[in-house]
Every structure is written in C-alpha cells, then in structure tokens.
C-alpha cells in the first residue's frame, strides 16, 4: 500500500468520533433531508436520537432557501418524484451557494433511468460526501448497471476502485456501505468492521446513515473538522450503536426501536472500546 493511501491515524478515529459526537449533541445541527417516502419518519427519529435536529423540506420554492440555513443536507434518491427531483436540484444549488455540506445517496441507480440521470446531474455538483452500497457506487462511477433494486449484488471491495475514482473526480468523501464500510477521500482509506446484519432487515437502515453523515458534517463544519473524519465518525457511531441494539433485540422489530435507544445512549467510551477500524489498500 502506498503512503498516500494510509489514514492519518486509525487508532485516533474513535477519539475523534467521540469528540465530534459531543459537539453534535451540544449544538444539534439542523439537518435538511430530501429523502424517500418509505423512510422519512425513521430517518427523522434516527437524527433526533443521535442528537441532531431533522427537517424534511422537499418543496420546490423552499428547499433551496432552507439548504442555505441548514447545517447539513441529505439528498436521497429512493423515491424521486418530479417534485422531489426539482427540490433536490434546488437544494443542492442553495447548499453550494451557502457552503452547506451535503451528502448524495444514489439509491438503486444503474438500471433505473430517471434516478440514474438525476444522480449523474447531482454528482457533477461535487457533493461533500457520497454514500451508497457497492452496486450503487459502481453504477455512479459508470462501471456497472447497478444492483437488484436497493440491494447490492457486489462486494464492498469490488467497489473500491470506483470509490477512489469518484473521490478524485468530484472531491467527495465516498462511503461504501456493507458488512465492512469502506471510506475514502482519494488520499486516505478506512475500513470499519462494526455493525450488524439486522441493519439490512429494517427499512431505512442505510438511508438513515446518510442522514447521520449529513448531521456529522454539519457538526464538523462548526468544529473545524475535515469531511473525511466526519463521515468516518458517523459510520462508526452508527454501526457501534447497531451492535449494541442487536444485543438487546429478538428480531428486526425490536432492533429498530433498540437502535434509536442505542444512538441516544452511545458514548465516547463505547466507541473507544468497540471500534474495529483498519487501513488498507484500495
């Protein structure tokens, strides 16, 4: 592995994440979400649980203005109705003008033409972060036709080159979600091996992570922390909370409730004790 692909410190991620979580909870970042209709309520509850302030503003004529005052923005393409498509373009323009960090979640792109075209239009506006499963990241980079709807048919490592390509082309932090999350800014790379399979059995498990990343980016902007650390911190907090929730669950229903409780309670000490973070070649 070349030196340029080494993270500044894998050991320090847990400490950085704990500090940033404290910043977020002290001053809840207003997190603007244009997200899919299936997960709106769950996403809002996840943001509230972790300590952020959610706002689901997806109306044309309001979304751009709101993105300009928000701390962070999520654009999720899960149910891209005509109104949401226009609101997303407007919100990204507002965020870009105001310097608001934003996350693109290109849900189910590849074979589906409407959302794929929109994803390509939006990624050209240089999102602060891109979060998707391996098949979505490969499709966004033009290297595959996508997965099976919202489900990935490719491994995280199979999307590593695509993640590096997107990071280099658009200056974004790219997070590939899977059993092991891969996060890169094109110079550094981390693999986070925390989490639980039950996240894949709750509607919105991945989509809500994109919102948490937007919240952490908002807190990081206030704290002067770089986007790579913010995105990796969000992933670590979310996946360790998922592990804690799984221990108290008997199935997907109880897990969804326990995840909210765990996100509310997860601490810097939990992150330090439970983090499984590695560096590795892309």
Model confidence over 58-91: pLDDT tens digits? 999 999 999 999 999 999 999 999 999 999 999 9
Give this prediction's pTM: 0.93
Report the pLDDT value the prediction gives residue 91, as an integer from 0 to 100: 98
- Helix, coil or strand: residue 59: coil
DSSP E strands in the chain: the ranges are 30-34, 53-55, 72-76, 102-105, 129-133, 173-177, 181-184, 189-192, 277-278
- Count CA atoms within 13 Å of residue 278 on its CB side: 11
* Binding-site entries: 56, 131, 177, 204
- Provide the residue-wise pLDDT of the chain in tens; the chain has 282 residues: 233 333 445 558 999 999 999 999 999 999 999 999 999 999 999 999 999 999 999 999 999 999 999 999 999 999 999 999 999 999 999 999 999 999 999 999 998 999 999 999 999 999 999 999 999 999 999 986 555 544 555 678 899 999 999 999 999 999 999 999 999 999 999 999 999 999 999 999 999 999 999 999 999 999 999 999 999 999 999 999 999 999 999 999 999 999 999 999 999 999 999 999 998 655
Structure tokens at 280: 């590795």
| Contact status, residue 182 vs residue 175, Cβ threshold 8 Å | yes
Structure tokens at 141: 């980079």
Phi-psi region of 168 (alpha: psi -120 to 50; beta: other; left: phi over 0): alpha
Report the pLDDT value the prediction gives residue 217, as an integer from 0 to 100: 98
Q: Please say whether the dihedral angle defined by the alpha carbons of residues 109, 113, 119 and 120, taken in this order, is positive or negative.
A: positive
* Bridge partner residues of 31 (DSSP): 54, 72
Domain tally, the chain: 1
Give the number of other CB atoms < 10 A from CB of residue 161. Answer: 14
Q: What is the CATH number of the domain that holds 190?
A: 3.40.1190.20
* Binding-site entries for ATP: 131, 177
Residues in the chain: 282
Q: Strands 53-55, 30-34: parallel, antiparallel or unpaired by DSSP?
A: parallel
d(CA 16, CA 174): 19
Report the pLDDT value the prediction gives residue 7, as an integer from 0 to 100: 40
Report the pLDDT value the prediction gives residue 8, as an integer from 0 to 100: 47
Model confidence over 208-217: pLDDT tens digits? 999 999 999 9
* Binding-site entries for substrate: 56, 204
Domain span at residue 130 reads 3-278
Residues 6+ apart with CB under 8 A from 261: 49, 245, 248
Residues 6+ apart with CB under 8 A from 114: 80, 85
């Amino acid at each position: 592995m070349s030196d340029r692909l080494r993270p500044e410190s894998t050991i320090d991620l847990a400490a950085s994440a704990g500090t940033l979580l404290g910043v977020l909870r002290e001053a809840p970042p207003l997190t603007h979400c244009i997200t899919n209709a299936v997960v709106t309520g769950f996403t809002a509850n996840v943001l509230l649980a972790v300590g952020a302030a959610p706002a689901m503003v997806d109306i044309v004529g309001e979304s751009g203005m709101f993105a300009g005052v928000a701390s962070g923005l999520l654009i999720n393409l899960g149910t891209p109705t005509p109104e949401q498509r226009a609101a997303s373009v407007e919100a990204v323009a507002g965020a870009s003008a105001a310097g608001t960090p934003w996350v693109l979640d290109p849900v189910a792109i590849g074979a589906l033409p409407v959302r794929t075209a929109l994803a390509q239009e939006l990624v050209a506006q240089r999102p602060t972060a891109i979060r998707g499963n391996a098949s979505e990241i490969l499709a966004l980079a033009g290297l595959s036709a996508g997965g099976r709807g919202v489900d990935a048919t490719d491994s995280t490592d199979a999307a590593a080159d695509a993640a590096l390509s997107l990071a280099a082309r658009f200056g974004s932090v790219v997070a590939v979600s899977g059993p092991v999350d891969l996060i890169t800014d094109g110079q550094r790379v981390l693999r986070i091996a925390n989490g639980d399979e039950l996240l894949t059995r709750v509607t919105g498990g991945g989509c809500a992570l994109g919102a948490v990343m937007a919240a952490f980016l908002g807190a990081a902007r206030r704290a002067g922390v770089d986007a790579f650390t913010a995105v990796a911190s969000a992933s670590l907090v979310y996946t360790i909370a998922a592990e804690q929730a799984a221990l108290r669950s008997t199935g997907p229903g109880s897990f969804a409730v326990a995840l909210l409780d765990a996100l509310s309670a997860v601490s810097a000490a939990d992150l330090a004790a439970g983090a499984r973070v590695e560096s590795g070649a892309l």
